[in-house]
Structure 1
Amino acid sequence: MTELLFYHLQRRPLESVLPSLLEKSLERGWRVVVQAGSDERVDALDAHLWTYRDDSFLPHGTDRDGFLAEHPILLTVKDHNPNGAVVRFLVERAPLPPDAASYRRIVVMFDGEDEEALAEARVTWREKKAEGFEVTYWQCDENGRWHKRG
């Protein structure tokens, strides 16, 4: 069964949280798709993942780069899975893909300061839990550590 993880972004922005989660996914040998809500967000993440740390970068590409099957991390606005990802990150209110149940894990990252995004996450939580998905809720404490809350 697909794990559905909800990350409530309040104390840390997406740009500080996403790279470490992507690193952990690659360490586990998982291929990843990051689906954003806009081409502008894809472009911003594309630039950020090359430079987020002085001593490292995350190997990735966008769905405009070609050779989509070869990218260990693929950034896109589409609901496709051309690189055979087992993990999908949804950012900037990107919707769950029709094939959600085919993933090992889906990570929904939502802005806790955006009331509409928060409401959408709550609805998705209830719906997917009722459908049998294994859902968990993660929240960051004041020290920057993530804790499972549900």
Structure 2
Amino acid sequence: MFYHLTRSGPEEVLALILPRALAAGWRVMLRSPDATRRDRLDAKLWLEPEDGFLPHGVEGGPFDAEQPVLIGQGAAANAAQGVVLLDGADPLPGEEGCERLWVLFDGGDETAVQAARGLWTKVTGLGMAAQYWSEETGRWEMKTEKKPAG
């Protein structure tokens, strides 16, 4: 699922995605190459949702494998069923088998837009399903969908 961010930041989108993924019983990996982003996400998840923190950990701890949400830049040590890619992070081998792969990219950053387009082409070229979501109207709408081959 490709999320073209034009009004919301990644934190707002994650506030929608993560509770749903956890309610489905999934573990999630949040991957970003940006250390500042990872620190900001860690702090934000301690404060959201309003009724308490969202259970998570930061990569490199002794309990990585047990974390419902793991923030880092490496492989999903928590056996995640969902992976969120931020700041140009790439999917890793084997993640095509995940239940869900979310790509969040900044619509105001042409480099990020081009990288997302390249990843879309790669994913759909492998015959995988993909959806493109945009918030340009003020609410999230699916703009296009590529069904899996076969």
**Same fold at TM > 0.5:** yes
Which secondary structure does the structure 2 equivalent of 1:41 belong to? helix
Equivalent residue pairs, number: 144
Mind listing any 5+ residue stretches in structure 2 that lack a counterpart? 145-150
Amino acid at match of 1:106: L
Is the partner of 1:108 in helix, strand or coil? strand
Please list, as runs of the form range in 1=range in 2, the aligned pairs for 1:1-150 lying within 5 A after superposition: 5-78=1-74, 80-143=75-138, 145-150=139-144
Distance (Å, rounded) in 2 between the aligned partners of 1:15 and 1:82: 22
1:52-93, CA deviations, whole angstroms, 9 ceiling, x for partnerless residues? 343232100011222111110000111x12111110000111
Q: State the alpha-carbon separation in 2 of the partners of residues 139 and 66 from structure 1.
A: 38
Q: TM-score normalised to the size of structure 2?
A: 0.90
Cα RMSD of the aligned pairs, angstroms, is 1.2
User: CA deviation digits over 1:98-145, x for unaligned, max 9?
Assistant: 2222211100000000000000111111121011110110111443x2
Name the aligned partner's letter for residue 117 of structure 1.
A
Question: Of the two structures, which has the highest relative contact order with CA contacts closer than 8 Å and spacing of 6 or more?
Answer: 1
AA at the equivalent of 1:118: V
